[in-house]
């Protein structure tokens, strides 16, 4: 009896081994990651396609048109105030000229940050945009509170000494950061890995995203991904340079991917099909519509 049982056991083991050897896909098939349908929708510089970028009006509109995160680019004034502005100079988006670093907050506040938009985009012009001020980060937090979601970039941190410390101080002041668990309302991004590593060292619980800019087709090595993963939860490449294989490789590594800046409907559809976990867009409302259609298609099992 024991011999029969032993023989039966050997037979079962042999059959199992043969199945695995002859049909490896049953045990090692590469499963394609399902498309992510809970994407972050980052209102790029606020709803900057509809209102003057980096103004309170733009941020307010970004929330109204389904932006889940307000993107804020930071520069720092001569007297140490963090202000929302994409460029190092005030030339493009205000009535003034000069570098932010060479101007006091009082001087910055005297500039008109809205009229240029009316001149450049008359189809979206609004009298209320005339005379808008450049907001400080403090004013933004005071306006939107600690229940809003902020996606903040340290711009040119090499130019501004202690920018990271000042940012973290304000996040603490407005209860937007946590030293015990990851915050749900703030993500910090930068092209500077040193800036992100510094922030990670000061507060490892704040999620960080490494921005990347490619010329031509994007490639990223496993070594690069592993290095970034030491301090960041994701990457932000320029969308025009990536493809589906790139997105899948990043996601397989365990990192999120939030490409910038996607304003075209077809590109939005491609981004969703590829499986990105968030997007930067000047038109959050359009992306939300595309996302809703995509989710509906997934729910009924159809092809997008």
Task: List active site positions.
Answer: 44, 86
Residue 259 near residue 289, CB atoms below 8 Å: no
Q: What is the DSSP letter of 255?
A: -
CA distance linking residue 158 with residue 97, whole number of Å: 21
Which residue(s) pair with 83 in the sheet? 75, 136
Helices (H), 55-179: 56-64, 105-109, 115-120, 137-144, 163-173
Quote the Cα angle for 125-131-132, to 5°. 85
User: Is the dihedral angle over the CA atoms 287, 291, 294, 300 positive or is it negative?
Assistant: negative
CB distance 259 to 271 below 8 Å: yes
């Amino acid at each position: 009896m024991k011999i029969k049982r032993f023989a039966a056991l050997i037979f079962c083991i042999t059959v199992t081994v043969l199945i695995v050897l002859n049909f490896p896909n049953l045990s090692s098939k590469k499963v394609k990651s399902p498309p992510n349908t809970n994407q972050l929708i980052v209102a790029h510089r606020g709803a900057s396609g509809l209102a003057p970028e980096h103004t309170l009006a733009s941020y307010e509109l970004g929330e109204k048109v389904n932006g889940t995160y307000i993107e804020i680019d930071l520069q720092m004034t001569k007297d140490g105030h963090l202000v929302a502005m994409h460029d190092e100079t005030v030339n493009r988006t205000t009535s003034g000229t000069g570098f932010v670093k060479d101007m006091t907050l009082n001087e910055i506040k005297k500039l008109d940050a809205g009229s240029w938009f009316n001149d450049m985009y008359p189809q979206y012009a609004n009298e209320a945009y005339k005379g808008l001020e450049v907001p400080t980060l403090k004013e933004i937090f005071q306006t939107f509170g600690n229940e809003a979601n902020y996606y903040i970039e340290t711009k040119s941190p090499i130019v501004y000494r202690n920018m990271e410390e000042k940012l973290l101080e304000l996040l603490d002041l407005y209860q937007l950061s946590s030293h015990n668990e990851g915050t749900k309302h703030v993500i910090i991004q930068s092209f500077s890995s040193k800036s992100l590593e510094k922030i990670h060292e000061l507060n490892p619980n704040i999620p960080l995203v490494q921005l990347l800019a490619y010329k031509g087709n994007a490639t990223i090595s496993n070594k690069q991904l592993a290095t970034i993963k030491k301090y960041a939860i994701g990457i932000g490449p320029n969308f025009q340079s990536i493809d589906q294989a790139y997105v899948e490789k990043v996601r397989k590594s365990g990192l999120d991917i939030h490409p910038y800046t996607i304003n075209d409907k077809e590109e939005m559809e491609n981004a969703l099909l590829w499986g990105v976990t968030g997007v930067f867009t000047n038109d959050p409302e359009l992306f939300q519509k595309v996302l809703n259609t995509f989710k509906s298609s997934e729910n009924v099992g159809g092809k997008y």
